[in-house]
Amino acid sequence: MASTRKLYSKYKEQMQQIADIRYAAAVLQWDQETYMPARSIGHRARQIATLSETAHKLFTAKKTGQLLETLAGSGDLSEEERKNIELSLYDYNKLKKLPATFVRAMSEAVSKSYQYWAHAKAANSFETFEDPLDKLIHLKRREASQLGWEGHPYNALLNDYERGCTVSFLDAAFSGLRPPLSALLSSIARQPQVDNAFLQKHYPRELQWQFGLEIIKKLGFDFEAGRQDISEHPFTTSFSSTDVRVTTRISENDFSNMCWSCIHETGHALYEQGLPAEEYGLPLGEYSSLSIHESQSRLWENNVGRSQGFWQHHFPLLLTYFPEQLGSTDPVHFYKAINRVQASLIRTEADELTYHFHVMIRYELEKGLIEGSVKTHDIPAFWNELYEKYLGIGVPDDRNGCLQDVHWSHGSFGYFPTYSLGSLYAAQFYDAALKQIPGLEQDLQNGNTTPLLAWLREQVHQHGRKWTSDELCKNITGESLNSVYFLEYAAKKYHNIYNFTD
């Protein structure tokens, strides 16, 4: 027993030292996307690559594997300790397939690619981003080959974000979503459109910023364990449960852009702040999966942040910030306007229904890029074709088309499908919360989100990576992921907003 305890302490110390290095790299990445001077990219790419390579070498060292194998064979560990070892061994066996030189090359390519993407978006020119993106895509194909895959090379990359996720699973999931969503969209299209013109009035930047800070604080974001900044694309990053950073973006002629970006990223941040601090650097101190992470952001953004009860309470506060813009608007009109359904170009600004088609487009494109049936040069044309096919809209330029998302510049191929999965999990979890938390709807109408956050802390956050997405879903709701919950929630909500019965 004494020997096992000593070995586990050694394991914990080693994992935490590796986490220190990885999070140091993450701090540099956060700075790169917020405050870093433009001319710093060369050295910054090197710095991040060195830290990433060092952490990878330490984690995949032979002695690390031997330590994990020894502890895995011990019978003197607690349930939580056994889970940490099991998950660390899984990670070790996967990551040791990637040479340290490859990890460095990938890190450098990602760091440089982000700057090319930012410049390309500003210049409205995919051509500016094409070569670095092509290099990244080839690296991702190599990564899939090195990790190994069955069925489709994209499966290897999907597994990084959602363990066990496959092309066949997603094809079936999206095939099940498309018909009922299309039918609901058709019914909505036959109704008079909701007027949301007041959301495009002039909303001063500083007032939006202050309102956003006030809202995310009310939702439970701990500013002593995090901060918010501005970036080109909103994101959340974490260096520990006591240091979680969120960003937003502000358009003075589109209030929606800032408000729901803040709420969405706060959902991510609340999850990170709720992870067990004592498990820092260990699997049980990490999130379950990207789809579960997205379930937290989508639940707060949509199930709560776009609900009528939430704005019955918060609309008077919003009115104190923007009396001229909203003086002729009431809470019910505001609620309907922020849920207006209309095909649009930008994924992050899409309504809950058309949003899934934005995800499907990226999924189809990424599958083609990784399998090689779509060439990097053809991305704009392929993108534009799918937007016409799925959403019936023309794409005017690259900035509002294939350059709108930051994910590819991060090398995050396989991430996008988790957005749709997250929305489905969010609806299923929220349904369970309504059944398990007495008076939850009344609490939200009174501006009290504490019971919901406490429930999520207990049901989701505190478990870290202990459960897979499916196991966690079964623990919370009694069944696996079921899109019926989202479809029923959407039908009820939008029948009410658009006042139709078919």
DSSP string over 373-386: SS-GGGHHHHHHHH
Within this chain, do residues 173 and 33 fall inside the same structural domain, yes or no? no
Residue numbers of the chain with a pLDDT score lower than 50: none
Within this chain, do residues 392 and 437 fall inside the same structural domain, yes or no? yes
Tell me what pLDDT residue 500 has: 83
Tell me what pLDDT residue 2 has: 60
Within this chain, do residues 87 and 197 fall inside the same structural domain, yes or no? no
Residue with the two structure tokens 């001063």:
204
**SS3 at position 251:** strand
Spatial distance between the Cα atoms of 484 and 185, rounded to a whole number of angstroms: 16
Spatial distance between the Cα atoms of 51 and 115, rounded to a whole number of angstroms: 19
* Axis-axis angle for helices 41-59, 100-123 (nearest 10): 150
Assigned domain for 57 exists: yes
pTM above 0.85, yes or no: yes
Tell me what pLDDT residue 502 has: 67
Within this chain, do residues 144 and 171 fall inside the same structural domain, yes or no? no
The answer for residues whose C-beta is within 8 angstroms of residue 23's C-beta and 6 or more apart is 239, 240
- Final residue of a structural domain among 148, 180, 215: 148
The answer for residues whose C-beta is within 8 angstroms of residue 229's C-beta and 6 or more apart is 34, 35, 245, 246, 247
CB 410 within 8 A of CB 135: no
**SS3 at position 306:** coil
Assigned domain for 154 exists: no
Query: Which one of the listed residues 265, 286, 352, 364 is annotated catalytic?
Result: 265
Within this chain, do residues 411 and 349 fall inside the same structural domain, yes or no? yes
**Nearest Cα to Cα of residue 208 among 68, 352, 325, 382:** 325
Tell me what pLDDT residue 391 has: 96
Within this chain, do residues 109 and 245 fall inside the same structural domain, yes or no? no
- According to DSSP, the β-strands at 243-248 and 236-240 are antiparallel
Assigned domain for 105 exists: yes
| Number of compact structural domains in the chain | 2
Within this chain, do residues 171 and 85 fall inside the same structural domain, yes or no? no
Within this chain, do residues 216 and 271 fall inside the same structural domain, yes or no? yes
Within this chain, do residues 322 and 429 fall inside the same structural domain, yes or no? yes
Which neighbouring-strand residues pair with 237?
245
CATH code, 490: 1.10.1370.30
Take residue 52 and report the two structure tokens written for it. 């990433």
**Nearest Cα to Cα of residue 377 among 398, 395, 393:** 398
**Nearest Cα to Cα of residue 423 among 471, 360, 353:** 353
Phi, psi of 64 (to 5 degrees): -65, -45
Assigned domain for 255 exists: yes
Within this chain, do residues 139 and 206 fall inside the same structural domain, yes or no? no
Within this chain, do residues 323 and 432 fall inside the same structural domain, yes or no? yes
DSSP string, 148-203: --SS-THHHHHHHHSTT--HHHHHHHHHHHHHHHHHHHHHHHTSPPPP-GGGGS--
265 noted as active-site residue: yes
Q: What is the dihedral of CA 437, 439, 442, 448, to 10 degrees?
A: -50
Assigned domain for 253 exists: yes
Phi, psi of 283 (to 5 degrees): -55, -40
Within this chain, do residues 89 and 193 fall inside the same structural domain, yes or no? no
Assigned domain for 156 exists: no
How does pLDDT run across 27-46, given as a tens digit for each residue? 999 999 899 998 898 899 99
Domain residues for the domain of 93 are 2-148
Task: Give the type of residue at 413.
Answer: F
